[in-house]
Amino acid sequence: MKTKMVTIGPLRLYCGDAAAIVPQITGQVDCVITDPPYAERTHQGARTNRKSAEGKRLVPFPSLSDSQFLAAVEQWLAAAGGWVVATVDMRHAALLMDHPKLVRLGVWVKNNPMPQLTGDRPAQGHETVLVMHSGARRKAWNRGGGPATWRHNVCNRATVPTEKPLALVRDFVYDFTQPDEMILDPYMGSGTTGAACLLEGRRFIGIERDPQHFKIAVTRLRNLHETLQAAA
């Protein structure tokens, strides 16, 4: 797959395969914050929050097999100077319970989750937040002894399937990084992590395989960067 790169201020955006690109930027990254594809079973049961198809089963991008997920995690840990923070499903999280670099399983509590339409069981009201550390530096974060719990609404007006709310990702950026640090998102989607980095004064490397999602991210991040520059 041919790689395309776009630079927007402190952001470096790649359209290409994360598995091929991440090894090339190892040593340039302070923290990984990402929302990777989930396991196949989770994808099959997922309902999108994309505004054109709210509530429908529609996750068009490929899932990650167990082996693909574990290989990706090792790439993230090799690339990161410190924290690796990822929203993951319970099936992938279970694979890492004995991993030596696992620090905590946190939780994003959804204030407005999608109801369980069958009504025969509880709805899924949270997502797992994987918190790992590469060990390349001493652990430190910006909320002291606070819990790995975040409460935010679901992104109901998403532009791509499974998009995470900006407020949630902005919390991740603030909690786990320092100003001007470099953050990597190997599954950039619509650019939410990049937007959070612009707002919090961090640098960013984003990778997205889907050309249409990449185009959405570039437009979104260019517009936000121009707005922030004009207001400065």
Domains of the chain listed by start with CATH number: 4-210+223-231 (3.40.50.150)
Give the span between the Cα atoms of 76 and 135, in whole angstroms: 12
Determine what percent of the chain is predicted with pLDDT higher than 70. Answer: 90
pLDDT digits over 70-100, tens only? 999 999 999 999 999 999 999 999 999 999 9
pLDDT digits over 5-29, tens only? 999 999 999 999 999 999 999 999 9
- In this model, does residue 43 exceed pLDDT 80? no
DSSP letter at 163 equals P
Q: Which residue has better confidence, 60 or 134?
A: 134
State the pairing for strand pair 102-110/4-8: unpaired
Helix (H/G/I), strand (E/B), else coil: 152? strand
With bands split at pLDDT 50, 70 and 90, how would you rate the model's confidence at 159? confident
Alpha helices in the chain (DSSP H): 18-21, 40-45, 66-79, 90-94, 166-176, 192-200, 211-231
